[in-house]
Structure 1
Amino acid sequence: MKTLFLIAFASIMSLMGCAQQETATDAATSTALAGDEPLDDGTVLELNDQTLQDTVVKTEEEWRQVLTQEQYYVLREEGTERPFDNKYNSNERKGVYGCAACGNPMFTSETKFESGTGWPSFYAPISEKRVKEVEDVALGMVRTEVECARCGSHIGHVFPDGPEPTGLRYCLNSAALSFKAK
């Protein structure tokens, strides 16, 4: 019984340490990247826990009113824009990439890399809390879809063929992103 208690206690302490480490990392990122200046489209990118607590729920008609036709196609209908002919594939400016639908900051230029695919690619999100990964079985294949954790919009897909340190390639649609330069 004592052994079982010690194993349970060690497991709980380990989990608490991971949670504290993630919180400290998120706080450091928040301090470094926080901002409240509106983007060209009026979206505000703020990196804080409140952004995620304020889940955005709209009807499809409300989404149609606030998104362009291309954004609606990508974000709400899970479409894909053409490769190489999009806004952020070749963007080399420093800054934060957020969800074009709700402003949730998801990726930074620090993790962006040239994948050769024609879409902006990143090897890691700002925090795993900022994106949601779901199984996508459309088009006769199994992939991992990337959604905004705040509003559920389709952002792109993640593949296991990216660079170190994660080995992941978050292949995203520019139409699904807003960018705020540092």
Structure 2
Amino acid sequence: MPAQGHRKPVHSRRDKQMTFWVTAAERDRIRENAERAGVSPSAFVRGLALGKPMTAKPQGEAKELLRQLNRIGNNLQQLQRHAHMIGPSVFECLTHVYARVDAALAQWATGAVSIVLAPELITRLAHAGAVVNQLAHQANSRKPVTESDLLCALHDLTEKLLPVMR
């Protein structure tokens, strides 16, 4: 038999089936909750049965905010690798801003925040993130990044983060 590509190890494959009965209302509720969590009904029931927390998948502006925060966090991590060449104060500032982005991500990913986001807030955050992305690209291309450019971008990013931090 030819190789199947990247398959799960034998011990990780789900090869046993369980069947159980529910009412129509229970089935509908399981499906709705699974859809809200962004998983299949079987993954939802399996997760709950195994004690895994099942939270609602972010929608709308919250989903876009999480996407932007993830992008910004990745770019900040890339800049941290190059910060030692710029100066220790820059590394400290990067670490501080990254911690704020990480905290915002944690709050929004778990649904701990329930404020309504204006789309223009996300647009402003995306713009600040684009500047950080350009600096990360510049650093990754081994082009010099000035301390003033980086600190200015981090200051701007911090201001844009304030409305999404609660």
TM-score > 0.5 by shorter chain: no
Q: Say which one has the larger Rg.
A: 2
TM-score range normalised by the length of the shorter chain: under 0.3
TM-score, scaled to structure 1: 0.24
Q: Which of the pair is proportionally richer in helix?
A: 2
TM-score, scaled to structure 2: 0.26
